[in-house]
Amino acid sequence: MASLDLYLPQLLQFEGGFVDDPSDPGGATNRGITLATFERYAQPLLGEQPTLDALRALTPEQAGVIYRTAYWDKLDGDQIASQLLAEILFDFYVNAGTEAVLLLQRVLLQLGATGLATDGEMGPVTLAALQAADQAQVYAAYRQGRVDYYERLAQERPADDKFLKGWLARADWFPATLPSTSTAAAPPATGVA
């Protein structure tokens, strides 16, 4: 089964440090954690006051706690058999929220899953459909769907076009096809965001 611990260092490398780009809808962000997410989880998970200064001081370990609760566990990441498939799903979920699960559900339906709602929730039916599907087919279609999403988003929201190169580089970091054994984390990154 997949493990967040295998991928978290790579995610943190992708996300980088503190930024507050006025044109980024996420606003102030550190290690990929937006201020809004930090405000929701800082006190209950970290015992920290949810201030901008506390977000600036967020450690990798603290970010990992938030990523596990707010993202990985919501995807039942520990229950996904393919490490690389869990990684690409998690990585996109961090970046695009429920769109990541909607894409997975659409891919599973295209590959023949039945009784599956496209609701953006990683529930037991979606997880079972994922586990029953051909992992290599799901992975390839999902990876391409992510690229298509970014390209469409940049067309629909011209202000986001400046992020497209980074989004595509991040999506392209993942291999085009699922290796025959995907129990280890993907290859080392080249420092793209």
Domains of the chain, each with CATH number or no CATH: 1-75 (no CATH), 83-181 (1.20.141.10)
| Portion of the chain with pLDDT greater than 70, in percent | 93
- pTM, two decimals, is 0.90
Q: Which two tokens stand for residue 91?
A: 């990585």
Residues 24-50 pLDDT 10s = 888 999 999 999 999 999 999 999 999
**What is the spatial distance between Cα 70 and Cα 73, in angstroms, rounded to a whole number?**
7
- Print burial letters for 144-177: b (CB count within 10 Å at least 16), e (below 16): ebbeebbeebbeeeeebeebeeebbebbebbeee
- CA-to-CA separations, 174 to 23, 128, 142, 181, in angstroms, rounded: 27, 24, 11, 14
Under-50 pLDDT residues of the chain: 182-193
Q: Which two tokens stand for residue 2?
A: 């997949």
**Contact assessment for residue 117 and residue 105, using Cβ atoms and an 8 Å cutoff:** yes
* Confidence (pLDDT) at 166: 92
Residues 111-122 pLDDT 10s = 999 999 999 999
Give residues with Cβ within 8 angstroms of 85, minimum separation 6. 2, 130, 135, 138, 139, 142, 178, 182
